[in-house]
C-alpha cells in the first residue's frame, strides 16, 4: 500500500487526511480546531466511525500529537499504513515555486520569505510543516502550493497596471489561488470526457467559502480571478472580491479606518455575509425564500459577478469547450449553477434543469445535448491531488535527495 498523510495547517486549525493514492480514497481524516483557545476540538474519522474530543490544544505541536494519539487508539495504525510521504498544503509560493517540492531547510526559509504576501496563511502552514517534520522524521515531506498551477499565466494576465518599479519591489502581481483544485478539476474533466487536456478550453468555477474562476487553455492556466491575495475576483462567503481600489483610500481617509480595519472589513465582514448577514448558501436560500431583501440582493450580486467572469473568460479563451463547477457551492447548489448560466443560449451555453437537479457527488454533464459548451459538475479533491503530487515527486526524486525531507 502507498499512502500519503496530507496536512493542511491553518492559523487555528489542522485538517488532515490519510490518502490511499493507489485507489484514490481517504482511509482516515479529521480536523483539529480552535488551537490556542481555552477549549479546542478534534474530530477523527476512520472506518465510518467518528471520534470527537474537546480538549485544550495549546499549539500546533499539541494538535498533531493528539492526532497521532487518535490514530493509535482508533486506527488505522500509521506504522502499518505504508506512508511514503507527508504532503503539506502551502498557500503562497510566490514567483518562486511552480510545482511541488521536497521540504528542506532552504525551502522552509523561502516559504517564510513569502510570508508578507500571505501573512495569515504561510506562517501557520510553516508551523505545521515544522511540527510534522519532528513527528515524522523518517518520511519525505512535500509541499504543494496553491499558487503553482497559475505560474503559467501570461504576463498580460498576471501584470497589474501600476508603476512597474513599485510592483517589482513588492512582488505585486497576480498569483492566483485554489490552483490545486483548478488543476485537479480540469484534469478530471478531460479524463471523464475521454479527451486529451491539450484539446480542451475550459472555465473552472471553484465556488466554496472562498471562490475563484480560472480559464484553462489546453491544460495550461491562462487567467484566474484571485490575484496578489485570495481577496480579488468573485463575491465570496465573507470576502468582497473585486472593488474599486479607491474604496480603501476613501475609507481610510474619511471613515477613520486603519489598515487592519480595512483588512478585516474586506476579508471577514464583506461578501454574502456583509450584504445579508449569512455566508452559507443553505441559510441564504432560506432567507431569499422568505423574501428577505438583503438576501435577495446578496444572491443577485454574487450571480452577477459570476456571470461577468464567465463572459470575460469566454472572450479570453475564444472557444469554450467546458465550464466546470466545483467545491461546496458548485457541487451542491443547483440554483447557483442554473442561474449563473441562464440566458446564454446564444453563446451555446445552457443548463438542463433535470440533469442539474440536486447535490452532485460524481462528475456529471448538466448541459443539454445541443449545447456547444459542455457544462459539468466535477467534485474537487484537493487532498488526493496533493497526495498524488507528493507520490510523483518522491517517486521521481533521485536517490540521494530522498533524504532531503528528513529532519
Residues marked as catalytic: 146
CB of 328 to ligand ADP, least distance (A): 2
- Angle 382-396/179-193 helices, nearest 10 degrees? 90
CB of 211 to ligand ADP, least distance (A): 8
The residues, any chain, with a CB within 8 Å of residue 6's CB and separated by 6 or more, are 16, 17, 18, 19, 86, 87, 88, 89, 383, 386, 387, 390
Task: Give the residue among 103, 177, 136 at the shortest CA–CA distance from 397.
Answer: 103
The answer to whether residue 359 forms part of the interface with ligand ADP (CB under 6 A) is yes
Nearer to ligand ADP, 20 or 331 (CB): 331
DSSP 327-341: HHHHHH-HHHHHHHT
The answer to whether residue 281 forms part of the interface with ligand ADP (CB under 6 A) is yes
Q: Which one of the spans 101-109, 146-154, 295-303, 329-337 is the region binding ligand ADP (CB under 6 A)? A: 329-337
- How many positions of this chain bind ligand ADP (CB under 6 A)? 13
The residues, any chain, with a CB within 8 Å of residue 395's CB and separated by 6 or more, are none
DSSP-derived secondary structure letter, 368:
-
Distances (CA, A) of 204 to 107, 228, 330: 30, 19, 10
- Contacting residue, 10, 40, 140, 328, with ligand ADP by CB under 6 A: 328
Nearer to ligand ADP, 72 or 359 (CB): 359
- Contacting residue, 27, 117, 143, 329, with ligand ADP by CB under 6 A: 329
27: its cell numbers: 482511509
Q: Report the alpha-carbon distance of residue 35 to residue 41 in Å, rounded.
A: 8
CB of 206 to ligand ADP, least distance (A): 8
The answer to whether residue 295 forms part of the interface with ligand ADP (CB under 6 A) is no
Letters for 186-215 (x = contact with ligand ADP by CB under 6 A, - = none) are ----------------------xxx-----
Q: Which one of the spans 16-24, 92-100, 276-284, 337-345 is the region binding ligand ADP (CB under 6 A)? A: 276-284
- Contacting residue, 87, 237, 241, 379, with ligand ADP by CB under 6 A: 237
CB of 185 to ligand ADP, least distance (A): 12
Task: Give the residue among 79, 78, 83, 76 at the shortest CA–CA distance from 2.
Answer: 83
- Contacting residue, 280, 292, 294, 392, with ligand ADP by CB under 6 A: 280
What pairing do the DSSP bridges indicate for beta strands 25-33 and 14-20? Answer: antiparallel
Determine phi and psi for 317, rounding to 5 degrees: -85, -25
CB of 278 to ligand ADP, least distance (A): 9
Nearer to ligand ADP, 20 or 382 (CB): 382
Distances (CA, A) of 112 to 60, 116, 170: 17, 9, 15
What pairing do the DSSP bridges indicate for beta strands 322-326 and 364-365? Answer: unpaired
CB of 3 to ligand ADP, least distance (A): 23
Nearer to ligand ADP, 15 or 217 (CB): 15
Nearest-10 Cα torsion for 303, 306, 308, 311: -120
The answer to whether residue 332 forms part of the interface with ligand ADP (CB under 6 A) is yes
Binding site for ligand ADP (CB under 6 A): 208-210, 237, 280-282, 327-329, 332-333, 359
Amino acid at each position: 500500500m502507498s499512502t500519503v498523510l496530507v496536512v493542511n495547517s491553518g492559523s487555528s486549525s489542522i485538517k488532515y487526511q490519510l490518502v490511499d493514492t493507489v485507489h484514490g480514497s481517504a482511509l482516515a481524516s479529521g480536523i483539529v480546531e480552535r488551537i490556542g483557545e481555552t477549549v479546542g476540538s478534534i474530530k477523527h474519522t476512520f472506518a465510518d466511525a467518528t471520534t470527537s474530543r474537546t480538549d485544550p490544544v495549546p499549539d500546533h505541536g499539541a494538535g498533531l500529537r493528539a492526532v497521532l494519539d487518535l490514530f493509535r487508539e482508533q486506527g488505522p495504525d500509521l506504522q502499518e499504513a505504508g506512508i511514503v510521504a507527508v504532503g503539506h498544503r502551502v498557500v503562497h509560493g510566490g514567483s518562486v515555486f511552480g510545482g511541488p517540492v521536497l521540504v528542506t531547510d532552504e525551502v522552509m526559509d523561502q516559504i517564510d520569505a513569502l510570508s508578507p504576501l500571505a501573512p495569515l496563511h504561510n506562517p501557520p502552514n510553516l508551523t505545521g510543516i515544522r511540527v510534522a517534520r519532528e513527528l515524522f522524521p523518517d518520511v519525505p515531506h512535500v509541499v504543494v502550493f496553491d499558487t503553482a498551477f497559475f505560474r503559467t499565466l501570461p504576463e498580460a494576465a498576471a501584470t497589474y497596471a501600476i508603476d512597474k518599479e513599485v510592483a517589482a519591489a513588492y512582488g505585486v502581481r497576480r498569483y492566483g489561488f485554489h490552483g490545486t483544485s483548478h488543476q485537479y478539476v480540469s484534469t478530471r474533466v478531460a479524463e471523464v470526457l475521454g479527451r486529451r487536456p491539450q484539446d480542451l478550453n475550459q472555465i473552472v468555477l471553484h465556488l466554496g467559502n472562498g471562490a475563484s474562476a480560472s480559464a484553462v487553455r489546453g491544460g495550461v492556466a491562462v487567467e484566474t480571478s484571485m490575484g496578489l491575495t485570495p481577496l480579488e475576483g468573485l463575491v465570496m462567503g465573507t470576502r468582497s472580491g473585486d472593488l474599486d481600489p479607491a474604496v480603501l483610500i476613501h475609507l481610510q481617509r474619511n471613515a477613520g479606518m486603519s489598515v487592519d480595519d480595512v483588512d478585516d472589513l474586506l476579508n471577514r465582514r464583506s461578501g454574502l455575509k456583509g450584504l445579508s448577514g449569512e455566508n452559507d448558501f443553505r441559510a441564504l436560500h432560506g432567507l431569499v425564500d422568505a423574501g428577505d431583501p438583503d438576501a435577495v440582493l446578496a444572491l443577485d450580486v454574487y450571480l452577477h459577478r459570476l456571470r461577468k467572469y464567465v463572459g470575460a473568460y469566454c472572450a479570453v479563451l475564444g472557444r469554450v469547450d467546458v465550464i466546470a463547477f466545483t467545491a461546496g457551492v458548485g457541487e451542491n447548489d443547483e440554483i447557483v449553477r442554473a442561474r449563473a448560466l441562464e440566458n446564454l443560449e446564444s453563446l451555446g451555453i445552457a443548463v438542463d434543469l433535470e440533469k442539474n437537479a440536486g447535490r452532485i457527488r460524481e462528475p456529471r454533464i448538466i448541459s443539454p445535448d445541443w449545447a456547444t459548451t459542455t457544462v459539468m459538475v466535477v467534485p474537487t479533491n484537493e487532498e488526493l491531488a496533493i497526495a498524488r503530487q507528493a507520490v510523483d515527486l518522491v517517486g521521481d526524486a533521485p536517490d540521494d535527495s530522498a533524504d532531503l525531507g528528513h529532519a
